[in-house]
Structure 1
Amino acid sequence: MSTTTSGITQDEAEIYDRQIRLWGLDAQQRIRNARVLIAGMRALSDEVCKNIALAGVGSITLLDHDTIKEEDLGAQFFLSAKDIGKNRAEASAPAIQQLNPRVNVVVDQDDIVNKPDDFFNNFDIVCLFHKEIGILERVNTLRRKVGKPFYTADAFGWFGYIFCDLVKHTYIEERKSESRGKKSGEEPKVQRTTCVEEYASFEQSLRSDWSAKGKKVKRLSPLSFVIHVLFKFEQDHGRSPTEKDIPQILAQKDKYLEAMGVKDSNLLQDELIKDVVSLLDTEMAPVAAIVGGVLAQEMIKVLSAKELPIQNWFYYSGLDGSGMIHQI
């Protein structure tokens, strides 16, 4: 089997031909060598695994200690009724492997909270799904120490979000010189600029004072206020809210907004709070497909070092089909 100068085999060059044409041979090589940790197997992580496996990522480690329940079958397409009672990661692995036999799929059935700090160091990307705020802050802090990308994401009911911390990300921005091409009849030249972007941590984003945004705060997604308030509730109470907590959240929403530097209580919509909290444990395949597609695309951007990825939050609402990026 012949090998190209970048280490990609001739077979791989043919399989990933379209991708190589899109972002280059060196970028595909980085994707091929990448190790990705997916912690928490849900409908959203199924979508991410599908997309990055088809893109040719080198290794995917599936970390989940939970067993499959009947309600998991509604949106998680890697599972079937015969998998009930099995470990989520173990049951999902064969289908991911079948999508792309060249990807190394690793199953880890440990509980993430019991993993030692150095476990998270060697992955090129770490992504946590549907996890408690304590483990999110811990893993993000560990990833910042080694200067490597961290994601957390969730999809519930009609809603979903992605948080991204790349610490300090270097990427290539490409721009075509259109005017020169039009005048001379030649192909426009491509100007490549090396850019560096710094990111805030998950903890910093929750402590961020939004008052600096001024009038721009009214143009933010209404979902952003709800998600941040839910995380603040979890910080205060050590658990995620349930429907029984909705009256308490509504009664204290001014307090939560004030802590964010927001004075207009109308920005935190009561009905949206009720909708989100009541659906926190409900998965919908179409919403997971949209948010998972965006997240997988962002991971490929990071690995290929092409274009600027999300900076820092992405919110999706299926109620109006909106997807918005908010930079902290």
Structure 2
Amino acid sequence: MSEKQLSAVEAELYDRQIRLWGIESQERLRAANILLIGIRGLGSEIAKNILLSGINSLVVLDDGIVTEEEQLKNFLLSKDSIGKKIAEEVLLKAQALNPLVKISADTSSPTSKDGTFFEDFTIIIATGLKTDFLLKIDKICRSKKIKFIAGDVFGTFGFSVADFLNHEYFEDQVKLIAKKRAHDGTETKPEKETVKVKSEIIYPELNKVIILPNTKQSVEHIKKVKRRNEYFFLMLTLLEFRDRQERNPDISNKEKDIKVLQEIKSEILDLYGIDQEKLDDGLLELVFGEIVPVCAVLGGVIAQEVIKAVSLKEAPINNVFLFDPLTYSGKEETVG
């Protein structure tokens, strides 16, 4: 990705951001072409934040139709949007957030796309996808050196998983300049200097992070961590539920869905050699629907990770973020 020099209008619009993370980082953002798969409750929050950051272009890929329920939890939609293509209906309000960003909609099914479709993006964000397709996209991204992040909201629980490849980034660190002695013997006070320090995080591919029952991947490298966060296993349980049921848990089918979730949870914990008490069944009561405030929080987190990944400014999460459905706090896990 080549950096794009900012125009005078852009420099003025993004002045506060440039003061925060510097002109070089803003120019990297301004050159970024981003694909967002899924523009539902969570996707709309992600879109808002990355549009405001000042990227070059955003393609929204979603083949869904706006329902009354969807319209109520997506601030980019209006009542007039019901029954229409969601990817097209979000464009008007999305564009208004930042007229300088090129935004386009693709209403075809994500799974209908071949590998070449994904090749021209700087980073890809995915929501609402089944696991096999997530892993397929990650494989394509790795072959083309494209960064990838996926996330979802289930009730008051949410998560994100990132594969930023071999990610180099810069952090500002304050360095003290040594005292200097003058000719008269007096010493000057030490001065502070801000310097950029380069670091690197090597991310594992997603098939070493998301390992579900009936796959051929070994889980031994994950089992080595004795105190793995219990919400990591909740994430896997929900992904496996979506894979099997081809939908998310539905409040109208709550009792049956909880039984299925309990069965899957048991399989997941057995696979990883974890005591069944590690993941309380009571948590399964909290995973229904897309709760708007949780979408807002997680959407902000994912967008911030996208900004870090593109701008090369500050350390991103390595590599799993889990939103606690009980305390509403975030937890970072290094998996794989």
TM-score, normalised on structure 1? 0.89
C-alpha contact 2:234 2:265 (8 A) present in aligned 1? no
Q: What is the aligned partner in structure 2 of residue 312 from structure 1?
A: 319
Paired AA for residue 247 in structure 1: K
* Partner residue, 2:49: 51
- Structure ranking higher in helix proportion: 1
CA shift for structure 1 position 179: 7.8
Q: Taking structure 1 as reference, are residues 66 and 248 closer, same or farther at Cα in structure 2, changes over 3 Å only?
A: closer
1:269 has 2:271 as partner: no
Number of residue pairs aligned between Structure 1 and Structure 2: 313
Gaps of 5+ in 2: 180-186, 212-218
TM-score, normalising length from structure 2?
A: 0.87
Partner residue in 2 for 1:140: 138
Choose from 231, 246, 256 the match for 2:239: 231
Cα displacement (A) at 1:212: 1.0
Mean Cα displacement is larger for which, 315-324 or 28-37?
Answer: 315-324
- Cα drift, residue 55 of structure 1: 1.1
Q: CA deviation at 1:165?
A: 0.6
Match of 2:306 among 299, 302, 313: 299
Q: Deviations over 1:203-226 (max 9, x none)?
A: 210234332112x33xx2x32211
Q: Is the 8 A contact 2:240 2:264 kept in 1?
A: no
Instruction: Call closer, same or farther: CA 1:119–1:149 in 2, change over 3 Å.
Output: same
The one-letter code of the counterpart of 2:234 is V
Assess if the C-alpha contact under 8 Å between 2:126 and 2:149 holds in 1: yes
- The separation in 2 between residues aligned to 1:284 and 1:190, in whole angstroms, is 41
Measure how far apart 1:258 and its partner are.
Answer: 2.8
Conserved? CA contact 1:180–1:188, under 8 Å? no
Q: Secondary structure at the match of 1:152?
A: strand
Task: Check whether the contact 1:40–1:130 (CA below 8 A) recurs between aligned residues.
Answer: yes
The root-mean-square deviation of aligned C-alpha atoms, in Å, is: 2.1
Deviation at 1:178, TM superposition (A): 4.8
Distance change >3 Å, CA 105–CA 274, structure 1 → 2: same
- Tell me what 2:268 maps to: 256
Post-superposition shift, 1:87?
Answer: 0.6
* Cα separation, partners in 2 of 1:156 and 1:252, compared to 1, 3 Å: closer
Whether the 8 Å CA contact 2:177–2:190 is kept in 1: the answer is no
Aligned to 2:333: 326
- In structure 1, give the amino acid aligned to 2:282: E
**CA distance 1:14–1:43, change in 2 (3 Å):** same
Q: 3-state DSSP class of the match of 2:146?
A: coil
Distance 1:106 1:324 in 2: 34
Q: Cα 1:241–1:79, aligned 2, differ >3 Å: closer, same or farther?
A: closer
Separation in 1, partners of 2:70, 2:4: 41
Distance change in 2, residues 1:286/1:254 (3 Å) = closer
